[in-house]
Amino acid sequence: MKRHLMTGIVSVLLLALAAQCGLAMGPHKVKGDKWMKELNLSYEQQEKILEIRQQHARETQPIRHDLQKKRLELKKLWAAKNPNQNAIIAKKQQIVALEVQLQFKKRAMREEINKVLTTEQLKKLSEKQGHIHGHGPKKGPRRGPGLKGQKGDGCRAEKGPRPNCGCCNH
């Protein structure tokens, strides 16, 4: 038990250290910011976006801490010899509420970042996000293999119309 506790504490400390290093690296060095280069942001825009992101990290730190704490508590509830389903459900509801708070704050941060971008950059970013989420040039359902090697669930209009298939108008 002590070993698991120490492992957890060390993991949390390493995570916190990694987060601090990521924030301290500056506008050009933050990992995962390929989009910033592709939008050709000015140095001032990069600094402003970094400032917004750091402010977001500071504002959400208590929520993220509570979320981590609740997830650990949920694991303990599940690990009990006779898990209390009501307690598990209540803890899961608390976790979901915190996740929703984080999502709203993340959306607000994105809106603040969008205010820094020009209309041209916003258009380019929108196109880029469309490609990421599968709404790029190849619109419509994918026809690749389904779960466990089954055939995909794409449109089979040639075999007869399927109501509400969502991929074409037949």
Determine the Cα–Cα distance for residues 77 and 93; give it in Å rounded to an integer. Answer: 14
Cβ atoms 67, 95 nearer than 8 A: yes
Q: Where are the domains of the chain?
A: 34-130
Residues in the chain, how many? 170
pLDDT at position 64 over 90: yes
Band the pLDDT of 5: cuts 50, 70, 90.
low
C-alpha span between 24 and 57 (Å, rounded): 12
> What six digits make up the tokens of 31?
């990992």
CA nearest neighbour of 117 among 60, 31, 25, 52: 52
**Which tops the pLDDT comparison, 139 or 37?**
37
- The yes-or-no verdict on residue 147 having pLDDT over 50 is no
- Is residue 113 within 8 Å of residue 39, measured between CB atoms? no
The residue among 150 and 64 whose pLDDT is bigger is: 64
Is 34-130 a CATH 1.20.120.1490 domain? yes
What span, in angstroms and rounded, lies between the C-alpha atoms of 46 and 53? 10
DSSP state at residue 152: P
Position 57 scores a pLDDT of 97
pLDDT band at 16 (very low <50, low <70, confident <90, very high): low
Q: From CA 60, how far away is CA 39, in angstroms rounded?
A: 27
Mean pLDDT (the chain) is 76
* Residue 162 near residue 156, CB atoms below 8 Å: yes
107-132 mean pLDDT: 87
Using CA atoms, how far apart are residues 95 and 67, in angstroms rounded to an integer? Answer: 6
The DSSP string of 47-97 is HHHHHHHHHHHHHHHHHHHHHHHHHHHHHHHHHSSS--HHHHHHHHHHHHH
Report how far apart, in Å, the C-alpha atoms of 53 and of each of 29, 41, 42, 58, 158 are. 14, 15, 17, 9, 50
